Amino acid sequence: MGRGVDETISRRAGRHRTRIPGGGHGSGGHNPSPIDGELCDQSARLRAKYQWLRTPHAIQVACAIRYKANLIITNDDRWKRLTEVPVIVLQDYAGAKP
């Protein structure tokens, strides 16, 4: 049986450190983080728990968990099912009066 994408990502993570170009201080407060084996393992666990969650999004959630993000903002209503980090769905606030 072939290896799944998440298993392959997790296996290769020990050999590669991926950084988002253009990040760091002075770029809107975004500080890129290396994608290591632990982050890939957490992402794979999230993908197993939430089968609708795509791999790139699982990586985002794993980063939010690792760095104790206060919340995640999205426009995907399914993310409300996440129990690991608070989620705000923009559509819930569309047309809301201040």
According to the model, what pLDDT value does residue 30 have? 60
From residue 65, give the alpha-carbon distance in Å to each of 2, 20, 55.
29, 18, 15
**Which one-letter DSSP state was computed for residue 4?**
P
Q: Are 87 and 49 in contact (CB under 8 A)?
A: no
Say how far apart CA 41 and CA 77 lie, in whole Å: 25
| Res 34 pLDDT > 60 | yes
- Pick the closest to residue 16 from 44, 46, 37 (CA basis): 37
Give, for 73, the enclosing helix (H) or strand (E).
strand 72-74
42-94 pLDDT, tens per residue?
Answer: 999 999 999 999 999 999 999 999 999 999 999 999 999 999 999 999 988 88
- Amino acid at residue number 64: A
How distant is the alpha carbon of residue 16 from its chain centre? 18
Residue 4 pLDDT level (bands cut at 50, 70, 90): low
Instruction: Domain ranges for the chain, please list them.
Output: 5-93
When pLDDT is cut at 50, 70 and 90, the band that residue 15 belongs to is very low
* pLDDT reading at 40 higher than 80: yes
Kindly report whether the global pTM for this prediction surpasses the value 0.95: no
